[in-house]
Amino acid sequence: MVKRLTAGAALLLAFSMPAMAKPVPTAKSSEPSSGAKKLPDFDIAQMMAVFDKIFPAQPDPAPAQLALARTSVQGLFPDGTYARMMNGLIAGTVDRVMGMSAADFGVKPAAGKPADPTTLRQKMAKGDPYFDERMRITQKVLGEELAKMATIIEPSVREGLARSMARRFDAKQLADLNAFLATDSGKAFGSQSMAIWVDPDVMRAVMNSLPQVMAAAPAAMQRVEAETAKLPKPKAGTKPKS
């Protein structure tokens, strides 16, 4: 059910959003198999160019408001926030996933057989006596590497947040925010403001709404069809040009 890729590495890929890099060819992958179509190399410059069009640069905020907003953001996103947030999310999620059984994942037992209570951790450890130690080392290394990534990610995120806040709030509002963030309660709030969004209660609240959202989707699509029905039909086989 689960391959030898450790859960810690998988969750890092899922949650930490590191910059994508061009893969390094290996002895097996450097030579395409006979008749196989070679995939184009990943082009990060092209991806960034597309991203730049989707999220174009915004007007520069007023310098005085930007300075106030930078102070606000430092209070809301203090140094090390990203690494702490991701480490807490990854470690907690890995531990809970490792404690789940096949039944927890929705796997039905064969007819006439009881559900298998064996946890994922037990299954992995059965074929690897050093699994727990391997996981401990993996999580330690990933945490340290994530801290390094945070020093690259955080300054850029802070500047983006500051620019956004400087455009959305006036000087008085920013000054009021900064006055609050300078208090003991403000410092406590600021240190947790980002981590709140990946708290289990928040994640559960989002997921608990998913069934209702999915149930409402067909009606939304029916409304789209009804309100676009007056438009001429597109030509058959019309495809957007790449």
Domain ranges of the chain: 80-105+117-168, 171-213
The tens digit of pLDDT for each residue in 27-40 reads: 444 455 556 677 77
Q: Is the pTM of this model over 0.75?
A: no
Q: Give me the amino acid identity at 77.
A: F
Mean pLDDT rounded to a whole number for the chain? 83
Residue in the structure block whose two tokens are 């209660």: 201
Closest by CA to 177, choosing from 194, 164, 190, is 190
Q: What is the pLDDT of residue 75?
A: 95
Contacts of 236 (CB under 8 A, 6+ apart): none
- CA dihedral sign of residues 120, 124, 130, 131: negative
Q: Give me the amino acid identity at 59.
A: P
Between CA 140 and CA 146 the distance in angstroms is: 10
The pair of three-digit structure tokens given for residue 216, joined into one six-digit string = 């409402």
pLDDT band at 23 (very low <50, low <70, confident <90, very high): very low
Between CA 124 and CA 101 the distance in angstroms is: 12
Per the DSSP assignment, residues forming a β-bridge with 119 are 101
Count of residues in the chain = 242
Q: What is the pLDDT of residue 22?
A: 39
Q: Give me the amino acid identity at 149.
A: M
Asked if 146 and 86 touch (Cβ cutoff 8 Å), the reply is yes
Q: What is the pLDDT of residue 189?
A: 96
The tens digit of pLDDT for each residue in 150-168 reads: 889 999 999 999 999 999 9
Between CA 192 and CA 176 the distance in angstroms is: 19
Residue 119 sits at φ, ψ, to 5 deg, of: -80, 165
